[in-house]
Amino acid sequence: MNTPAANPYPSVKIGIVSVSDRASTGVYVDKGLPALQEWLSRALKNPLQFEPRLIPDEQADISAALIELVDAGCALVLTTGGTGPALRDVTPEATLAVAHKEMPGFGEQMRQISLNFVPTAILSRQVAVIRNQSLIINLPGQPKSIAETLEGLRDAEGKSVAPGIFAAVPYCVDLIGGPYLETDEAVCKAFRPKTAVRSFPEAPELN
């Protein structure tokens, strides 16, 4: 693994937000933040700085956290939890409230992936938006579902059956003026038009 000093790719600040009344009050241990950090650390080659937030299902608090993370320079903000139809599920409303642009394709693809597992995936209300030069995406609440929607589905031979949403994230971040995200293709192969692909020098081997 490259050290930050040897890593040729730009550093990236990523906001990760877990929305849960019970986890935020200590009723149970939050699993969303570790799941997000673990997957992103595997998927991206860039040096990463995470800005974690664990907050209750309060719309004003969620919106405030998203604005804070964008203002702090997070090129990407991922949330988990609070996207169902229950009365306390208000993450999509909080996200749309701070949006400058909506990106409906992300939510559509997440639901399409999840429908391979459960028919109740149609109850999920995840949204994605752009605020300034940051991409904000709501993800499901379960760690397994987080990985599935980000990474996509593969058959027994490892061939892609349904692309995960993260394949489109690096180019989206490019288009809004964010840092160049380089993925590990063994985890998630990002798609960019050939004209948008940049080359970076290989990091020197460490003794």
- The tens digit of pLDDT for each residue in 54-108 reads 999 999 999 999 999 999 999 999 999 999 999 999 999 999 999 999 999 999 9
- Name every residue whose Cβ is closer than 8 Å to that of residue 190 and which is 6 or more positions away in sequence: 166, 167, 168, 169, 170, 171, 181, 182, 183
- Please check whether residue 4 lies inside any domain of the structure: no
- Please check whether residue 31 lies inside any domain of the structure: yes
Distance CA 109, CA 113 (A): 6
The predicted model scores a pTM of: 0.92
Q: What is the pLDDT of residues 137-194, one digit of tens each?
A: 999 989 999 999 999 988 777 777 788 999 999 999 999 999 999 999 999 999 999 9
Distance CA 163, CA 189 (A): 9
pLDDT value at position 4?
Answer: 56
- Please check whether residue 191 lies inside any domain of the structure: yes
- Please check whether residue 203 lies inside any domain of the structure: no
State the total domains in the chain: 1
Range of the domain at 132: 12-196
Whether the pLDDT of residue 205 is over 70: the answer is no
What CATH number has the domain bearing residue 78? 3.40.980.10
